[in-house]
Amino acid sequence: MDFYTHKSSTVRQQRKWWKVPTALFAPKYSFWVISFAVFLIAAGSLSYLWQWANYLQLGYHTQALEKEKVVLQQRIALLEIEVHFLSRLERVDHIATTQMNMRPPTPAQRFILQPPDSNE
């Protein structure tokens, strides 16, 4: 037995999902729906472009820092060479004898320091 042979009109209207777009684009709603869609598309595009601009800016900044790192590493290498050149014993001995009028110590001026005895 079929008790519910007749369906009400509200049930029939609920099943008609294809009528939703036509209701949204009715003349009184179409301006607001299209405006909202354009706003969503514009906001999404702007957020994408903003993220891409930040990505590019970080890339340029990273590239500049890498170039600066290479320059500083070369400068460090040159400074290390200069330190080794300036601290050579022959050069220091030459400057001490010629410019500062120093002489090598005499045997009387030399003495050897003994470490303290660990027994005391």
Residue 54 has pLDDT above 60, yes or no: yes
pLDDT in tens, 85-117: 998 999 989 999 999 999 888 888 888 888 887
Per-chain mean pLDDT for the chain: 84
pLDDT of 108: 86
Higher local confidence (pLDDT), 113 or 38: 38
pLDDT of 50: 97
Task: State both tokens at 70.
Answer: 């290479």
- Region class of 115: left (phi > 0), else alpha (psi between -120 and 50), else beta: beta
Higher local confidence (pLDDT), 102 or 5: 102
Higher local confidence (pLDDT), 67 or 28: 67
| pTM (whole model) above 0.75 | no
pLDDT of 63: 97
Contact (CB, 8 A) for 90 and 84: no
pLDDT of 31: 80
Distance set, CA 99 to CA 39, 63, 93, 102, 109 (Å): 81, 48, 10, 8, 22
